[in-house]
Amino acid sequence: MKNIKDYDLQDLKEELANIGEKSYRAEQIFKWLYQDKVKSFDEMTNLSLDLREKLKENYTICNYNILKKLESSDGTKKYLFDVLDGNVIESVLMEYHYGKSICVSSQIGCKMGCKFCASTGIPFIRNLSAGEIVEQVLAVEQDTCEQISNVVFMGIGEPLDNYDNVIKAIRILNNPKGLNIGARHISVSTSGLVPRIYDLANENIQCTLSISLHASNDQKRSAMMPVNNRYNIAELMKACKDYIAITNKRISFEYALAKDNNDNLEDAKELVGLLKGMLCHVNLIPINKIENGKFTKSTNENIIKFRDYLNDKGIVATIRRELGSDIDAACGQLRRKNLN
């Protein structure tokens, strides 16, 4: 059966029209699911009994069970959810001064093979559907009894490798009749799938694009991220510049600093060469060590030098606060972990 949460509002209207229902019913169902957050069709009391029966016969409502929840000393929470087919996924809830931000997974496993990321250690199994992505937000809101203000697609998976479902999930999250999370509060992070960056530029969605850059020349980037062999830095930078020209939106570049690898001033200089004059922001991440990983964190001194160099050259760079590393919830530490 189909999951009713896999439909954005437009699709749901069409779907209901196919079974002879008026389109305003779709809006009612949307409100029940994303504003009243009910878990069954029986609770949708302004729908006729007949329609509720019809819905029950044709659709399921995906509601996750929390298999495990870990809480960090900094307040970050990591959830392990059962996605109802025997697979599990992780989501992370972080507290910021501006509100609560959830880091969602977009795939079960990941194909990208980045050498420094724990999600690489797990085989790719399948894409998550739009409803399975959105349900992470609903399940965490329900657990914490608090509203989530920001969603970042930075959990397990490459969001642009699951393009259609991710876009649909964003539409559900963003719809005022859905979860009503402003597009500016939704970020999509990609390892650099160039053709999909162009697709995203033309979607007319105001979400923020983050690019996992991590190195400023092809030799170093290819050693860290195999995707660079497919779309090199020149192609990626061209796509980013075109994205900015089309959307007039700032891009956020992520750069994880690893000791004696990509953290010296030569690297910073090359980075300035790439980014000079672009409408962008650089997020420096002290790289998180993963099991069997060969990269280690740069020293604080080097991280600060790197940031100051970029700022001196007119490129806005900030150091990302490390959250949740004591529960393996920090960047790159997510994997479909054992349940013990």
According to CB under 6 A, which residues from 233 to 272 bind ligand SAH?
A: 254, 256
When asked if residue 128 is in the footprint of ligand SAH (CB under 6 A), the reply is no
Q: Which range of residues in 54-62, 124-132, 143-151, 284-292 is near ligand SAH by CB under 6 A?
A: 284-292
Task: Supply the minimum distance, in Å, between the C-beta of residue 225 and ligand SAH.
Answer: 8
Tell me which of 4, 102, 133, 154 binds ligand SAH, using CB under 6 A. 154
Q: Which range of residues in 39-47, 72-80, 169-177, 185-193 is near ligand SAH by CB under 6 A?
A: 185-193
Q: Which range of residues in 22-30, 50-58, 71-79, 108-116 is near ligand SAH by CB under 6 A?
A: 108-116
Torsion angles phi and psi, residue 22, rounded to 5: -70, 155
Tell me which of 30, 34, 81, 116 binds ligand SAH, using CB under 6 A. 116
List active site positions.
90, 331
When asked if residue 158 is in the footprint of ligand SAH (CB under 6 A), the reply is yes
Task: Supply the minimum distance, in Å, between the C-beta of residue 50 and ligand SAH.
Answer: 44
When asked if residue 207 is in the footprint of ligand SAH (CB under 6 A), the reply is no
Count of CB atoms situated within 10 Å of the CB of 40 = 11
* Interacting residues toward ligand SAH by CB under 6 A: 112, 114, 116-117, 154, 158, 189-191, 212, 254, 256, 285, 287-288, 290, 331-332
